[in-house]
């Protein structure tokens, strides 16, 4: 494996290198340099996990070995949403309406968290008004019922 002088200068002071090795050709990939990672695949035929380089090994596994390769999807971990204001106040990401947090912890309430409603969006905090305008049709039947109950109670 050859690396340039510029790449060497980027990694020579690191204590640990993040290295991948292809399962078949044993080619190396240094992820610390920003190189694209090799693909991680699962073969149902051989019941084994493989790390394959894009050049030739992936095609060899499919065509010559007859592998049934599938990418494994990692479960999405939902990290706790941090408010964008200190203590117990936060703002809606669309209308910037000030919302009350949950007690002294400062975390947002579940009703203002789009993932609580089953909505996949880049917005972290939404008031019920913005949620209803933008994502009401995407809510399931149960979530619509809960959403309407919260509106009747005049929650924000």
Listed residues 43, 71, 99: the one ending a domain: 71
Q: What is the DSSP string of 100-151?
A: E-SGGG-PPPGGG-GGGGT---S-S---HHHHHHHHGGGS-HHHHHHHHHHH
Tens digit of pLDDT for each residue in 72-91?
A: 656 556 666 655 555 566 77
The alpha carbon of residue 57 and the mean position of all alpha carbons in its chain are separated, in whole angstroms, by 28
Tens digit of pLDDT for each residue in 101-125?
A: 776 666 778 888 888 898 888 788 8
Residue 109 CB burial class (10 angstroms; 0-12, 13-18, ≥19): middle
Say whether both 27 and 66 belong to one domain: yes
- Host domain of residue 62: 17-71
Say whether both 103 and 132 belong to one domain: yes
With cut-offs at 50, 70 and 90, classify the pLDDT of residue 32: low
Task: Count how many domains the chain has.
Answer: 2
Average pLDDT, the chain: 76
> How many CB atoms are located within 10 Å of the residue 120 CB?
9
- pTM for this entry: 0.43
Say whether both 130 and 93 belong to one domain: yes
Say whether both 64 and 105 belong to one domain: no
């Amino acid at each position: 494996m050859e690396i340039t002088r510029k790449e060497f200068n980027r990694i020579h002071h690191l204590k640990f290198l993040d290295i991948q090795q292809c399962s078949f050709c044993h080619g190396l990939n240094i992820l610390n340099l920003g190189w694209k990672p090799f693909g991680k695949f699962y073969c149902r035929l051989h019941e084994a996990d493989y790390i394959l380089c894009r050049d030739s090994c992936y095609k060899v596994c499919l065509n010559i070995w007859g592998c049934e390769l599938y990418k494994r999807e990692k479960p999405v971990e939902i990290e706790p949403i941090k408010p964008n204001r200190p203590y117990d106040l936060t703002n809606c990401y669309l209308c910037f309406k000030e919302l009350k947090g949950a007690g002294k912890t400062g975390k947002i309430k579940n009703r203002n968290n789009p993932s609580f409603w089953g909505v996949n969006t880049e917005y972290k905090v939404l008031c019920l008004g913005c949620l209803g305008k933008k994502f009401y049709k995407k809510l399931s039947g149960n979530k619509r019922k809960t959403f309407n109950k919260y509106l009747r109670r005049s929650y924000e």
